[in-house]
Structure 1
Amino acid sequence: MIKAVFFDLDNTLCASDTAWNIAVRDTFQILRQHYPDVSKAFLLRTWESVLQELFQGLDGGKCSMAEVRDLRFYRLFEKLNLSQDKLTEELSNSLCQRYIASLRLYEDVEVLDRLYAFHVGIITNGAHDEHTDSQFSKVRNFGLSKRIQSLTISDEIGVRKPNAEIFKIACDRAGVLPREAIMVGDSIQNDIVGANKIDMTSVLIDRNSDAVTTEIAVEQPDYTIPNLYDVLRCLKQD
C-alpha cells in the first residue's frame, strides 16, 4: 500500500531548464559587453567545460552545489584568461537573479493538493542554504513548503541522487518503507535508477516524450507519464 509520494523539483515541479537557458543567455550578453572579442560559441563551449568539471567534483563528493555556484564564473574567467575582478561576482548574481525571475511552476503542480491522503515530499539535488537560487529557497518562495510534509536536499544530506541513501533518508523522515513510496521525477539516471535501487515505485515524467531518447535507459520506470495529473492514475493502479 502506497503511503508516500515523493517528487523531484527541477523539471518535474518547475521548468528549470527553460529558466536556466534564459538566464545564461542574458548573463553572457553582459559578459560580452565587457569582452566583445570572446565569441559566443567559444564562450558557451568553455562554460559547458567548466560546468562538466565542477559537476564531476560534485558527483565525486569533493564539493557541494553551493560551492559549484560560487566557483563557476571564477573557473570560467580562468579558462578564458580574463582577469578576476568584480565582474565575476556581478555575473554570478545576474545568473541567479535572472534564473529565479524566469522560473515557473508547471500548472499541474496543483495535483500536490489532491494528495492529502499521502505523505508528500520532495527529494532533490542542489544547495540547501539561504541563497536565492538554492533548492530550499525555491521551495519556500514558490509556496511549495505549504504543499509538502518533507524536503530532502542533497547538500543537506551529503549524498546526491541516484545514491540510494538520500531516498532511504526521505522514506525514514516520512515514516514509510521504500516499498510504500512512489518517486516521481524527470531523470532516468537520478530519479528512476535511485528509486529502483531501494524498491520504491518509480514514475518517470516525460513531458516532451524525449526522456528515454536523451538519456541512456539503464533502468526502466514502473510508470511513464506525460504530466503530474497521471500520478493519480498510478496510485490507483499500485
Structure 2
Amino acid sequence: MTTATRLGRPVTGVLFDLDDTLFDHRGAVDRGLRAWLSGLGLDGILEEHVERWFALETFHHERFQRGEISHVDQRRARIRAFLHGWDLADDAVADDTFAGYLACYRAAWSAFADAAAALEQALAAGLRVGILTNGEQSIQETKVRRTGLATYDVPVFASSSLPAAKPDPRAFRTACADLGVDPGGVVMVGDSLRHDVEGARAAGMSGVLIDRTGRYRDDEVQGVDRIRSLAELGW
C-alpha cells in the first residue's frame, strides 16, 4: 500500500465527508428552497426563511442520527415546524408538501468544483479512499451518482448502514476496517469541527477541517489542520 504524508505524518487512507465537503448541500438547499418558496408565494422574507430552514434541518436530522425518529419522520417534523400555520397533521399531506421542496432541492444538486480532482488526486497517490457521511445510505449514494462522483468508484459509508453516526468513533473505525486500513494512518476531511475533526481524533485518526467560507473563528480551531479548498490537501 502506498503511503503519502500530511503535515509530516504518514497517510495510507482518506475519508471524505459528503455534504458541504464534496457535495454543495448548503448551496443546493439555498437555491432549492428559494425556488420552492417562490412557487408558494412565500418569497417576501427569503433570508429569514432560509436560516430557519437550516436550523430545523440541523435539529431534526440530528434526532434521526441519534435514532430518536425515522428519516421520514424527521422530514415531517421539519415541514410541520417550518409551515406551522398550515394543516399538515395528515402524514400524506405533510409528505406531499415536503416533496415539493425536495424536487427543487434535487434539481439544484451539484458537487463542488474541487471535489472530483480531490478524489482523483487521492486515488492517484495510492491511498485507500472512502466517503463517510451522516445520512440515509440510498440518498447519499444517489447524490454521489447524480453529481458524477461515482465515476471514481469510491465506497460510500452512510450512518444509516453503520453502527453509529459521526462523531461516534465506531463510524470511523467501521469505515477504516472496510477499507482495510489502520485508523492511525487515515485522514478524515470534513466541514464539521465536531462531527469530522473531533470525531476522527477520538477514533485515533487525523482530521482536516475544510472551512470554505470562514465559518470558524481562529480561536475555535487552534491546532486544527484547516484548509479553504480541497486543492490544498496536496498528498
Instruction: Report the TM-score, using the length of structure 2 for normalisation.
Output: 0.80
The question of 1:120 aligning with 2:129 is answered: yes
Question: What RMSD, in angstroms, separates the aligned Cα atoms of the two structures?
Answer: 3.0
The question of 1:111 aligning with 2:118 is answered: yes
Change (3 A) 1:83 1:115: closer
Q: Deviations over 1:26-46 (max 9, x none)?
A: 22233347xx9x987886687
Q: Deviations over 1:160-209 (max 9, x none)?
A: 2111111011100111111111111111111111111122121111222x
1:28 maps to which residue? Answer: 37
1:62 maps to which residue? Answer: 68
Query: C-alpha separation between the residues in 2 aligned to 1:75 and 1:124?
Result: 25
Q: CA deviation at 1:25?
A: 2.0
3-state secondary structure, aligned to 2:137 = coil
2:216 maps to which residue? Answer: 212
Q: CA deviation at 1:217?
A: 3.0
Gapped runs of 5+ residues in structure 2? 1-9
1:96 maps to which residue? Answer: 102
Kindly, what percent of the aligned residue pairs are identical?
26
Query: C-alpha separation between the residues in 2 aligned to 1:143 and 1:115?
Result: 17
Gapped runs of 5+ residues in structure 1? none
2:232 maps to which residue? Answer: 230
Matches within 5 A, 1:3-82: 3-32=12-41, 47=53, 50-51=56-57, 53-77=59-83, 79-82=84-87
Q: Is the 8 A contact 2:173 2:183 kept in 1?
A: yes
Instruction: Report the TM-score, using the length of structure 1 for normalisation.
Output: 0.79
1:146 maps to which residue? Answer: 151
Q: Which of residues 187, 190, 196 in structure 2 aligns to 1:185?
A: 190
Q: Is the 8 A contact 1:154 1:160 kept in 2?
A: yes
Query: C-alpha separation between the residues in 2 aligned to 1:82 and 1:11?
Result: 33
Change (3 A) 1:44 1:5: closer
Change (3 A) 1:4 1:74: same
Q: Is the 8 A contact 1:13 1:105 kept in 2?
A: yes
The residue type paired with residue 27 of structure 1 is: W
Q: CA deviation at 1:87?
A: 5.5
Q: Is the 8 A contact 1:121 1:148 kept in 2?
A: no
Change (3 A) 1:81 1:149: closer
Query: C-alpha separation between the residues in 1 aligned to 2:127 and 2:185?
Result: 10
Q: CA deviation at 1:145?
A: 2.4
3-state secondary structure, aligned to 2:23 = coil
2:161 maps to which residue? Answer: 156
Q: CA deviation at 1:144?
A: 1.9
Matches within 5 A, 1:189-200: 189-200=194-205
Q: Deviations over 1:89-135 (max 9, x none)?
A: 44312222211221221121212112221111100111123xxxx21
Q: Is the 8 A contact 2:188 2:200 kept in 1?
A: yes
